[in-house]
Amino acid sequence: MFRHIDGHDRVRAIWGHAWLQLRSVLCIAAGFAAIYRNKVGLATLILSVLSPLWGLLSFKRLGMGVVCWLLALVTIQLALRHPAVDKGLLTNVWQVAVAAIGGIMLTLLIKAWARAEEDVVAKAV
């Protein structure tokens, strides 16, 4: 993904990716704290831990990683309303935050895909 970027821009992009990965680990930890008592939550946790590994395998194919990530957000949204996890207002705030994170990520991805498309067109010319 970053192979076409050189110099300072490449370093910045790699650090941006590293921070994104760190945030994902924090979200996994928070998800574990919310669903550790739920048997379905255990399966979700295992899949959440495996999804970054799957992402590493498909690193050049961003689309597959995005699908996994978005499905993880859907799983979080579904699990938050479970009686074992529901904490009233805190759950509502958490759901809004997860939805906002999903919206921000989609916006950033659309911009990145548009930039990549422009790069391909510019290189073709």
Residue that is written with structure tokens 């993904």 in the block: 1
d(CA 113, CA 105): 12
Q: Is the pLDDT of residue 3 over 50?
A: yes
37 by DSSP, 3-state: which?
coil
| Chain segment 17-68, per-residue pLDDT in tens | 888 888 888 888 877 777 766 666 667 667 767 766 665 555 555 556 666 7
The reported pLDDT for the residue numbered 15 is: 85
Look at 45 and 72; give whichever has higher pLDDT.
72
- Cα Rg of the chain, angstroms: 17
Query: What is the model's pTM?
Result: 0.44
pLDDT of residue 2: 43
Nearest to 78 by CA among 97, 90, 95, 64: 95
pLDDT band, residue 1 (cuts 50/70/90) = very low
Q: Tell me what pLDDT residue 14 has.
A: 81
The DSSP code for 59 is T
